[in-house]
Amino acid sequence: MDLGAMFNSAQVTLEKWGGALLTVIGVVLLIWMGILIAMKFFKKGQDQTSVVLIVIGLLVGGAFVAGGMGVITNLSDVGQSTINTLIGAD
């Protein structure tokens, strides 16, 4: 039994599941932001939800739907390169 192959297979499977989960979270977030926009229009300013929060929610939800696990991977790669640059480990 090759442990390396088993762990690589597990990593690929978890990345697929994680991407699917992030896509579902993105869809839920987009639906919720749509509801908040509708409430904002129908309540004519009585709603306490910030427009900035709604826009950020739409951007994050759209990124999760479009990118899934790729968005998280890219963000972690950028963070790692930033840390390496700051500590001079390039």
Interatomic CA distance for residues 73 and 14, integer angstroms: 13
For the chain, the straight-line distance linking the first and the last C-alpha, in angstroms and rounded, comes to 36
pLDDT at position 24 is 92
pTM of the model: 0.72
The pLDDT score that the predictor gives to residue 90 is: 60
The list of the chain residues with pLDDT below 50 reads none
pLDDT value of residue 27:
94
- How many domains does the chain fold into? 1
pLDDT score recorded for residue 11? 85
Please provide residue 4's backbone torsions phi and psi, each rounded to the nearest 5 degrees: -60, -45
Specify the 3-state DSSP secondary structure of 76. Answer: helix
**Structural domain boundaries enclosing 19:** 3-87
